[in-house]
Amino acid sequence: MITLPQVQNSTLLNKGKIYLIRTPVNGRYGILRLYNMMVSNQLGFEWEPDEEVWVVMFNEHRSRLRILHSDLQGYDLTTRITYSGRFKVKLEKMECSPDKITREELRSLILNASC
């Protein structure tokens, strides 16, 4: 089991909206392609360049969790791979609007592979 260090006054996940994309996203897409998908509204939500946003995505087999984070400083991509089992989240094959999730739900996805 992965444990995240407990840091006092940490700014990790203190601000910004967190979107869970329910349609599968190709797990081989890199940071530039995912960022361009977000900027061009292909992920299904309106994005403002001056707001902090966390975008949570999965591949079709739900074995990869991708988190695209964007703020005024830039953008980054985090990947978590499960080598046994799948992330326990329901995905939709057709286009649907992304869900907003809480920081605790995101923490549960990262640590326990379930929401």
- What is the domain partition of the chain in residue ranges? 17-112
Within the chain, where are the H helices? 31-39, 103-112
Highest mean pLDDT among 15-19, 29-33, 45-49 belongs to 29-33
pLDDT tens digits, residue range 30-40? 999 999 999 99
Q: Which residues partner with 57 through β-bridges?
A: 66
The chain-wide mean pLDDT, for the chain, equals 84
Which residue did the predictor score with more confidence, 26 or 114?
26
| 34-58 per-residue burial string, b: 16 or more CB within 10 A, e: under 16 | bbebbeeeebeeeeeeeebbbbbbb
Whole-angstrom distance, CA of residue 86 vs CA of residue 67 = 16
pLDDT at res. 114: 80
Q: What is the mean pLDDT of residues 3-26?
A: 70
Its pTM stands at 0.81
Structure tokens, 35? 């960022």
pLDDT tens digits, residue range 53-78? 999 999 999 999 999 999 999 999 99
Neighbours of 59 (CB within 10 A): 20
H/E stretch holding 86: none
Q: What is the mean pLDDT of residues 36-56?
A: 91
